[in-house]
A and B are shown apart, each in its own frame.
Chain A
Amino acid sequence: MPAMKTSSQVSIGLGTQLGLVGTLAAGVLAIVQSAEHNQALLSGANKPAAIIAFAAPILTALGRMYQAAHLPKADAVGGLTADIPAELASLAAEAQANVAQVQASPDHVDGPHVAYATGDAPAPAAP
C-alpha cells in the first residue's frame, strides 16, 4: 500500500468565507479612505487610484472564491461540501484493483454473536 498522509483538512468554503470577509473589510477600508480623500476624488486627481484601491481587494476575493470553487471536493455534507484526503481521490484505480483481492478472499461476516465486546449486553427484557 503506498504511503499516504493523514488529512485533517477542513473545509469547504473556507476560502470563500475568507474571501467574503476580506472583501467586506477591504471595502469598508476603501470607503473610509475615499471619504478622507473626498476632495481629491471630487477633483478627479486621485480617482483612478481610489478605484483601483477599492477594486483590488474585490478582485482578490473573487480569485479566492474561484480557487475555492475549483478545489477537489467530496460529496455534499450538510448542504456544504467537505474536502476529502486528496490521496484517496488519486487512488481510485488502486481501489478498483483491490476488488479482486476481496473477491478472492471475501469479508468476514459480522453478526450478533460478537455484538457485545465488553460483556455488558443489555439487560434482558422485563417479563
Chain B
Amino acid sequence: MSVSGLSRHHTKQAVNWTLQAAVLGLHHASVIHYTQTASRWQGIDRHRDASKGQYPNFADCSAFVTWCLWNGLHLHLGHTDVVNGQHWRAGFTGTMLTHGRRVSSPIPGDAIIYGSGGSGEHTALYTGGGLVISHGSERGPLLLPWRYRSDVMAVHRYI
C-alpha cells in the first residue's frame, strides 16, 4: 500500500502526473517566476492542469512542489491534501515535514527537503535517476542532482 493509500495502478498514475507537471515546469522555466507572495499558490488556485499543458507563472519552491503533487494526487484522483494538510490552499516546508512519510532514499515523486533543521529551508521534487527539479529562484525550475546541496534534511513521500 502506498503512503497515500492509493492502489498500485493509481500510485503509478499519480507519480506520472506529478512528474509530468514538474517536467512541464522545467520546460517553461523562463516564464515561471519566483515569488513568496500570495500569487505563489497560483498553480492550484487557478487549477493549472499540467496534463493540458498548463502551469503556474508564479511559485516558490514549496508551492511548485505542492502544485506538482496536487496534479498527481488531487486533480485527477481527488485525493485530500496529504502534502501540507491545508486543503491544498497553503503550505511550506514546515507543513511538508509534518506530513507524508519520511523515508531513507527517494523514489520519483518524493520531495527532498533541504535545510539545517527546524522547518526546513528548501524543497525540490525527486524525478528519479538521482535528479530533482528545484524552483529556488527567479531562474525557474531547474534540473539538479538531488544532493546538489549538502544539507539534505529529509526525504518525504506523499504518493
Contacts and interface: CB of A to CB of B under 8 A. Distances in A.
Contact of A108 (B23, B30, B61): B61
B47 interface: no
Interface in A97-124: 98-99, 101-102, 105-122
A1 B130 CA distance: 19
B77 to A, nearest CB: 14
A110 B108 contact: no
A100 to B, nearest CB: 10
A114 B12 contact: no
Of B2, B23, B109, chain A has the most CB atoms within 10 Å of the CB of B23
Interface string A1-32: 10111111111100000000000000000000
Interface in A69-107: 74-80, 82-85, 87-89, 91-92, 94-96, 98-99, 101-102, 105-107
Interface of A: 1, 3-12, 74-80, 82-85, 87-89, 91-92, 94-96, 98-99, 101-102, 105-122
